[in-house]
């Protein structure tokens, strides 16, 4: 049986507790044994090196040096890391080691909640298979991203809310390696209600399964 750790906390506007429950249900349905923690200190526990998958839902907030060192070492050693939106890539803004591992960091969401489209960059990838371009209403994340990411989906900014980024093509979904660990990220999913969007939920679900280390 695979073990997964979900750690939620940080800014309450992203509804981390509710989202943690949804993700726990998804993983339990796949046969995972799931542990849910509501404290960032869970990342400092040496036992995380034995998990198959870690899912952070920790927008903003801070992480102690010993905790981020333990977390990054766990992923380097083969533990999978998967997450979404600000819960993963707007977490621990002062930790460059964490951002280096994740492959990106949130910068802005011009216009707030807006309508935009998600374009599929790699339709043959198993995570994206059967998913075509789809409309989405949420925060459109403008991010700083690692050029080594394998980008699976993108979005294009219109410039309506920030004219200097008109036409900018931004990664939305990517996967990467960090040492022996697999890392997956999707910028979709501002609040729990967005899990009702089939494409958002399917992409995250498949991404978590891809990232999880085999037993």
Query: What mean pLDDT comes out for the span 127-148?
Result: 98
Q: What is the pLDDT of residues 59-98, one digit of tens each?
A: 999 999 999 999 999 999 999 999 999 999 999 999 999 9
Decide yes or no: CATH 3.40.50.880 for domain 3-107+172-211.
yes
Q: What share of the chain is helix, strand, coil (3-state, %, to 5)?
A: 35, 35, 30
pLDDT tens-digit series, residues 116-126: 999 999 999 99
Q: Give me the residue spans of the domains in the chain.
A: 3-107+172-211
């Amino acid at each position: 049986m695979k073990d997964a750790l979900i750690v939620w906390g940080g800014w309450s506007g992203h509804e981390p507790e509710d989202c943690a429950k949804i993700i726990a249900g998804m993983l339990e349905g796949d046969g995972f044994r799931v542990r849910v923690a509501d404290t960032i200190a869970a990342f400092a526990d040496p036992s995380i090196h034995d998990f198959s998958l870690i899912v952070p839902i920790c927008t903003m907030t801070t992480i102690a040096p010993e905790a981020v060192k333990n977390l990054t070492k766990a992923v380097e050693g083969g533990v999978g890391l998967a997450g979404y939106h600000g819960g993963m890539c707007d977490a621990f803004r002062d930790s460059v080691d964490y951002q280096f591992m994740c492959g990106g960091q949130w910068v802005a969401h011009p216009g707030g909640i807006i309508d935009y489209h998600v374009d599929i960059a790699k339709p043959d990838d198993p995570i994206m298979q059967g998913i075509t371009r789809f409309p989405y209403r949420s925060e459109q994340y403008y991010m700083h991203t690692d050029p080594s990411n394998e980008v699976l989906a993108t979005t294009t900014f219109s410039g309506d809310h920030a004219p200097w980024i008109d036409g900018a093509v931004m990664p939305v979904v990517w996967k990467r390696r960090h040492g022996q660990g697999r890392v997956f990220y999707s910028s979709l999913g501002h609040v729990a209600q967005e899990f009702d969007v089939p494409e958002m939920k399917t992409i995250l679900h498949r991404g978590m399964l891809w990232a999880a280390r085999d037993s």
